[in-house]
A and B are shown apart, each in its own frame.
Chain A
Amino acid sequence: MSLSIRALRKSYVEPGGRTINILNVESFDMASAEQVVLVGSSGGGKTTLLNTISGITTADSGSVVIDGTDVTTLPEAGRDRFRALKIGFVFQTFNLLPAFSALENVLLGMSFSGQKADHAHARELLKRVGLEHRLNHRPSELSVGEQQRVAVARGLANRPSLLLADEPTASVDTANQDNVLSLIREACTENKVSLLMVTHSPEVASKFDRVEKLSDFNKPEVAA
């Protein structure tokens, strides 16, 4: 998977009436199966960038081309489908659904792509993250580290081309940080999935070959 961002703009209006251009990216590229970490301070637009790449948020202008498809030109339903088929998500707070078991949370990651749920693949992923014995446990019955591992498995459930990870280690303790990070990176390598991770932790960033400072290519500005 290749990712190419050009002249991407996204603004919002603050309660006071000020318009902030939170995203102002001239150019950003990622090669297929590349693993990139974005470092930036809070409020710097990291999450907005991920949301715009995945099509959750629409850009004001510019392009986000993933594997030849410009996400910004797709209608909402098209972006949903694209996300369901091509993009995996790992959130900072795991965002597992409490009503569903570990296995079901992973299956949920496949449920919206229109393809048949692959139970064997879901079990395989959970086995890969060391949770083959916790398949039927609900999130409330899992430790924080285990929950994040389920979230990783869910992020890879739809065999995505690109995994977007938003501060995936921020909610786990230091001892588990390395484990989670290694797991995500290894899983992406094994499955030839591109990884774009955002973090504000220099320690996490130091593990990556390619570290990008968001402030180097994103220039937020107050429009008016």
Chain B
Amino acid sequence: MNLLTIAWKSLRQRALASSLTALSISLGIMLMVAVLIINGLVTEAFRQNGTGFGLVVGGRGSGDMNLVLNAVYRIGMPGEPLPWRYYDELRNHPYVESAVPMAMGDLTQEGQFPIVATTPEYFSLGYAPGKKFTLKKGGRLLGKYFSAVIGSRVASQNGWDVGSTFQLSHGGMDDHVHTERYEVVGVLGRTGTANDKTVFVDMEAFFMLAGHEKPPQEAIDRLREFGYEVTPQEEAVIKKAAAEMNHEGEEHGDEPHFHAVPNDLKEVSFILVNTKDIMGLPFLAAQINEGVKAQAVNPVPVMRRLLDNVVGNVRTLLLCLTALIVVVAGVGIFVSIYNSMSDRRKEIAIMRALGAHRGTVFSIILGESLLLCLGGGVLGLLFGHGLVFVAAPFIESEAGLILNPWLFEPAELILFPVLMVMATLVGFLPGMTAYRTDVAESLTD
């Protein structure tokens, strides 16, 4: 019989106390595993989004963090918009391979999901390196006015599918609801990113909604702020087009109809840019940032900063708390084994009388501690993944995070060496008690 078998049988003898002790460890490990899995997922989510494009270009003054929060995480309201003429200029830049315009600000009336107006080109960027958007069967990408492609969470939470219709409302304090109804033409597959909770609508139709086009004079002023020359002839054309859109001086009629919006009346919240060559990214960013019109942000360092400063701190806090729980459980193991030692003096003395060395009985007690810690650890690992399995639907509906309960975080592997060290520490003192047991005296007890 090897020492671990002897240790196991001794634990089995005190089945209730041993089970409760292992359970206390397993609960600590369960929490730690759950935190690690959720943390891994959040980290992945924060990392993943920024990699479908190289730069986010937005109005100067928005701040790089705000720009990334808007563009990548669809959080908050966008800052100063960019004129369409700037977008045209950027997409024709020799370094640029693709430039996808995006306009934000509206929300779905139901569920308050952010609306992002864009072009179908957005979906060709992919949501992560090598990861392409997928469409649920029967769906298609944007292609006609007032069509929408929705993220998976929007679909599940609002109960929408291809053919569903909905209305848009203004974000912020204004609770105006647009009368136009959008029709869902496609439902995206799950990505585990902010795209899941986004509604994508066609850029052209977005500007046809009342109030989405820039008033002509403001648009002209904004163009001039950006340093574009607006000739009196161009100014007249802009104003005439705006007047035609609004049917100034003529009968509007009852039939619903829409007018194409002149480009100079359009603005975009930001532009997602990929360069032809990766080396072009810093040059392009430097060029954009030299001017006063816009700012270009590489999302990756900003996201990393966000991850480290915000998510990282929360993660550290949670890990510290769960580590404390594990340590408390470790103290529980120590107390449990140490308390049992006085009842086991005779048992140890018998083993010594049968020829066991002091080191052997020390090892048996250490083995018990190891078995409790590692057994509790394995149990905690299963409980942790079980907890994620049970909590996944709730977390997905509340936080939009798609949890894979069977995802194994590499950090979980560290738990076992840590548990072994802890087992050694908590088993040391009881082991020493066994080591020092007076055999002759204990045999006569």
Do A and B associate with each other? yes
- Chain A residues with CB under 8 Å of chain B are 47-48, 51, 54, 56-57, 76-77, 80-81, 83-85, 87, 89, 91, 95, 97-100, 104, 107-109, 111-113, 117, 154, 158
The reply to whether B353 and A54 contact each other, CB–CB distance below 8 Å, is yes
Closest chain-A Cβ to B388's Cβ sits at a distance in Å of 36
The answer to whether A99 and B12 touch (CB under 8 A), given A56-B439, A83-B353, A112-B356, is yes
The answer to whether A111 and B350 touch (CB under 8 A), given A80-B355, A95-B443, A158-B355, is no
Closest chain-B Cβ to A57's Cβ sits at a distance in Å of 5
The reply to whether A104 and B439 contact each other, CB–CB distance below 8 Å, is no
The answer to whether A109 and B354 touch (CB under 8 A), given A95-B443, A99-B9, is yes
Q: Is B440 an interface residue (CB 8 A)?
A: yes
- Chain B residues with CB under 8 Å of chain A are 1-2, 6, 9-10, 12-13, 346-347, 350-358, 360, 439-440, 443-444
Complex Cα spacing A6 to B346, Å: 31
Complex Cα spacing A71 to B56, Å: 84
Contacts of A80 in B (CB 8 A): 352, 355-358
With a 10 A CB-CB cut-off, give which of B1, B9, B358, B439 has the most chain A CB atoms.
B1
Closest chain-A Cβ to B293's Cβ sits at a distance in Å of 80
The answer to whether A57 and B440 touch (CB under 8 A), given A97-B347, A104-B1, A111-B1, is yes
Beyond the given pairs A56-B443, A81-B357, A104-B1, 14 more chain A to chain B contacts, judged by CB atoms under 8 angstroms and listed by A's residue number, are A47-B440, A54-B353, A56-B439, A56-B440, A77-B357, A84-B355, A95-B350, A95-B443, A98-B13, A99-B13, A111-B354, A112-B356, A112-B357, A154-B354
The reply to whether A108 and B358 contact each other, CB–CB distance below 8 Å, is no
Complex Cα spacing A168 to B350, Å: 15
Complex Cα spacing A117 to B354, Å: 14
The reply to whether A112 and B439 contact each other, CB–CB distance below 8 Å, is no
The reply to whether B9 and A104 contact each other, CB–CB distance below 8 Å, is yes
The reply to whether B440 and A51 contact each other, CB–CB distance below 8 Å, is yes
Q: Nearest chain-B residue to A154 (Cβ)?
A: B354
Complex Cα spacing A167 to B351, Å: 19
Complex Cα spacing A87 to B353, Å: 9
Closest chain-B Cβ to A157's Cβ sits at a distance in Å of 9
The reply to whether B6 and A111 contact each other, CB–CB distance below 8 Å, is yes
> Of A83, A91, A95, A97, which one neighbours B355 at CB under 8 angstroms?
A83
Closest chain-A Cβ to B18's Cβ sits at a distance in Å of 11
Closest chain-B Cβ to A130's Cβ sits at a distance in Å of 22
The reply to whether B353 and A56 contact each other, CB–CB distance below 8 Å, is yes
The answer to whether A81 and B13 touch (CB under 8 A), given A91-B443, A107-B1, is no
Closest chain-B Cβ to A11's Cβ sits at a distance in Å of 14
Contacts of B1 in A (CB 8 A): 104, 107-108, 111, 117
With a 10 A CB-CB cut-off, give which of B1, B351, B353, B354 has the most chain A CB atoms.
B354
